[in-house]
Amino acid sequence: MPLDTESEQSIPSGEEEVLRVHEALQELAAVDERVVRVVEMRYFGGLTEEDIAEALGVSTRTVQRDWEKARLLLSIALK
């Protein structure tokens, strides 16, 4: 059975993925800095929506909207 090495080469390494996420967050920061802060606090910092809302001085619903916006924009940027 032949090995399919071509598909393995198309999978980004961990470092490449981190760089892509970093670049996508930088692009997103040019559009909406608060959205990036929400991503950093929630994804990297593990804070709850309530903690983020308090830290940023916004409502929990605003944090939820920002998170949804970030997920959408990052999914587009990382395709």
The span from the CA of 15 to the CA of 3, in Å, is: 24
Asked if residue 11 is part of any domain, the answer here is: no
pLDDT at residue 15 in the model:
85
Asked if residue 2 belongs to a domain, the reply is no
Among residues of the chain, what percentage have pLDDT more than 70?
84
Domain that holds residue 35: 18-77
Is residue 36 assigned to a domain?
Answer: yes
36-61 pLDDT, tens digit each: 999 999 988 999 999 999 999 999 99
The CATH number of whichever domain residue 22 belongs to comes to 1.10.10.10
Residue 42 to residue 67: CA distance in whole angstroms: 9
Q: Is residue 59 part of a domain?
A: yes
Query: What does the alpha-carbon distance between residue 55 and residue 49 come to, in Å, rounded to a whole number?
Result: 10
Phi, then psi, of 45 in degrees rounded to 5: -95, -20
Q: Whole-model pTM above 0.85? A: no
Reply yes or no on whether the pLDDT at 9 is more than 70. no
Phi-psi region at 19: left, alpha or beta (left = phi > 0; alpha = psi -120 to 50): alpha
User: Does the residue 3 lie in any domain?
Assistant: no
The answer to whether residue 3 scores a pLDDT higher than 70 is no
13 compared with 30, residue with greater pLDDT: 30
C-alpha 51/C-alpha 38 separation (Å) is: 10
Please give the tally of structural domains in the chain.
1
